[in-house]
Amino acid sequence: MKVLPPEVEEILAKFRLNREQLQEISEKVEQQMKMGLAKTQGSSIAMLPSYVPALPDGTETGKYVAIDLSGKNLRIMLLTMNGAGTTPTHETVNYIVANHVMKGTGDQLFTFIVNCLQRFLQEFGLVDANLPIGFVFSYPCELLSIRSARLLWWTKGFDIKDCLQRDIVALLEEALEMNMSTKVSIKAVMNDTVGQLAAAAHKYGPECTIGVVIGYGCNSSYLEKTSRITKFDAKARGYDHDNMIVVTEWEEFGKHGELDDILTQFDREVDAASVHKGKQLIDKLCGALYIGEVVRRVLSQLVLDRVLFEGQSCEKLDEDESFPTKYISEILGEEEGVFKACRRICEELEVEMHGTGDYIIIREVCDVISRRGASIVAAAISALLRHLELSSVKIGVGGALIQFHPTYHQMLKEKLEELTPITMKFELVPADEGSCQGAALIAAVAERLKL
């Protein structure tokens, strides 16, 4: 067992969550989920109806297009499916959204999307094919139907005032009408968690009814019985399906103080420096956008305490975002006792004197903070499993941390086994097909069900 200096142990003890703490978090999550299904306001977990009534069943055939707008990237995919027992094929093109478009007008943004779509269809000789489209739009929206979403506010660097409170599908359809010589039809709009769940369900079959994204932030979606979404008046909305995918929006859990007991001074500093102070606390404790910053602040404190680098200062560590989350992945990707990545990172941080003792501490800080994030996600997933009361389920997990963090999947699995009742059988399956493919699949589901 590693013997760490007492100053290091004292700080890391605040990040180590025991089973009772995690169980308490999990119970609070379940309580907020149930409230979110019953009420439109008051819960820190919104449980948003998606209007998507079913997941792909593998029988889908034909060509479908997906448009995925996420930050600076616009992805367009052509997905070709040949029915049960076959693997879909796809062609994807990425387009970069210019800064002036991200902060311009709605007309500029949707004209840009339509121009990219036209170029894409021309490239594949599909201008006259009248293909169905699934649209991934991962910004806070109020969904009004499977084809209608009112934008509440922008995130990820966008700031286009004249789109707020507007139906983004209607804006896209207007731009299509104005600019395109081809006919396409928008079949569904969704956020990335719904797309990822659809892609995982297509790959792993009907047991896969939960999808969790652990990327820059953390969110989930799952297949729910419509009758349990008691805040949703299905009859008034003309919704006559037994099931619906619900987007939890659990990244907001904690905004009512539910996580105050476990927040460290470092978490509070990260929150205070963020754009959305007091919001999206799950993202700040678990997401790839923030955990590198938490590690940086801990290491900076250990330098100040003269525990690291023989008491020498390290100015770089005092700079925001100078310890990106990819450093954590590189450090934990090496076998224990191997410190090549750690040595290189210390040099990149312009540390003059560093040695094995420093590397052991840095590695342990990365491990403990990663483990805390995975533990909180496991607590949230176990709450969802208890709510669903399924005897067996496959959980599609994807996102940057699952993809690139070498120990995250295993940490998540271990904690989930610890927190989930023995009677429930679960399997964590990698959902690496992504939301773009899922959007095309949801368009296919909408066609099949004649939505």
User: What CATH class is the domain 54-203+433-445?
Assistant: alpha beta
pLDDT in the model for residue 182 = 66
pLDDT in the model for residue 1 = 52
Residue 384 contacts residue 220 (beta carbons within 8 Å) = yes
Q: Beta 89-96 vs 73-82: how paired, if at all?
A: antiparallel
CA distance 148 to 298: 44
Place of tokens 């308490």: 24
Token pair listed for 96: 């970069």
pLDDT in the model for residue 299 = 97
Place of tokens 């963090």: 405
pLDDT in the model for residue 180 = 66
Token pair listed for 219: 């969110």
Q: What are the start-end ranges of the E strands in 231-280?
A: 243-247
CA distance 361 to 378: 25
pLDDT in the model for residue 23 = 96
pLDDT in the model for residue 153 = 84
Show pLDDT as tens, one digit a residue, over the chain (451 residues). 567 899 999 999 999 999 999 999 999 999 999 999 999 899 999 999 999 999 998 888 999 999 999 878 899 999 999 877 778 899 999 999 998 999 999 999 999 999 999 999 999 998 888 899 999 998 888 899 999 999 988 877 788 999 999 999 999 999 998 876 667 899 999 988 999 999 999 999 999 999 999 988 899 999 999 999 999 999 999 999 999 999 999 999 999 999 999 999 999 999 999 877 888 899 999 998 899 999 999 999 999 999 999 889 999 999 999 999 999 999 999 998 899 999 999 999 999 999 999 999 999 999 999 999 999 999 999 999 999 998 899 999 998 899 999 999 999 999 999 999 888 899 999 988 888 999 999 999 999 998 8
Q: Which of 143, 130, 140 is nearest to 181 (CA)?
A: 130
Q: Which of 50, 68, 243 is nearest to 142 (CA)?
A: 50
Q: Which of 251, 205, 210 is nearest to 382 (CA)?
A: 210
Active site residues: 75, 138, 192
pLDDT in the model for residue 434 = 81
Place of tokens 């286009």: 160
Residue 61 contacts residue 440 (beta carbons within 8 Å) = no
CA distance 134 to 17: 41
Strand order through the sheet with 61-70:
89-96, 73-82, 61-70, 132-137, 185-190
CA distance 451 to 445: 8
pLDDT in the model for residue 197 = 96
pLDDT in the model for residue 198 = 96
CA distance 265 to 258: 16
Instruction: DSSP letter for 227, please.
Output: G
> What are the residues whose beta carbons fall under 8 Å from the beta carbon of 249, sequence distance 6 or more?
45, 46, 47, 48, 219
pLDDT in the model for residue 204 = 93
pLDDT in the model for residue 280 = 87
pLDDT in the model for residue 178 = 86
CA distance 162 to 105: 6
Q: Where are the domains of the chain?
A: 54-203+433-445
Angle CA 104–105–106, to nearest 5 = 135
Helix (H) or strand (E) holding 270: helix 265-273
Phi and psi for 234 in degrees, rounded to 5?
Answer: -60, -40
